[in-house]
């Protein structure tokens, strides 16, 4: 029987720092937990900083 390899990737929500809304779902490496992304926030209608949050 074949052994399944564990991938180093996990599913995260990207949460806006200003509105605290979950706007995006991404698959990231486990080492990218503290990374900050600059993404579009539909509520504010501008680009803001987003941080990953575990699903």
28-43 mean pLDDT: 88
Structural domain contains residue 2: no
Q: How many domains does the chain have?
A: 1
Q: Report the pLDDT averaged over residues 42-51.
A: 95
**Cα–Cα distance measured from residue 15 to residue 7, given in angstroms and rounded to the nearest whole number:** 24
CATH number, position 40: 2.20.28.120
Residue 16 lies inside a defined structural domain of this protein: yes
Q: Residues, the chain, total?
A: 55
Q: Tell me if 47 is assigned to some domain.
A: yes
| Residue 6 pLDDT exceeds 80 | no
Contact assessment for residue 52 and residue 32, using Cβ atoms and an 8 Å cutoff:
yes
Distances, alpha carbon 34 to alpha carbons 9, 23, 24, 38, 53, in Å: 15, 17, 16, 13, 10
In a domain, residue 4? The reply is: no
Question: Is residue 3, in this structure, part of any structural domain at all?
Answer: no
Task: Categorize the per-residue pLDDT at 4 as very low, low, confident or very high, splitting at 50, 70 and 90.
Answer: low
Is residue 28 assigned to a domain? yes
- The pTM for the full model equals 0.77
Structural domain including 30 reads 9-54
pLDDT band at 26 (very low <50, low <70, confident <90, very high): very high
Per-residue confidence (pLDDT) for residue 49, from 0 to 100: 96
């Amino acid at each position: 029987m074949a052994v399944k390899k564990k991938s180093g990737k996990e599913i995260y929500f990207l949460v806006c720092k200003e509105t605290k809304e979950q706007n995006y779902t991404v698959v990231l490496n486990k080492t990218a937990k503290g990374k900050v992304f600059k993404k579009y926030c539909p509520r504010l209608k501008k680009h803001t900083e987003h941080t990953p949050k575990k699903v």
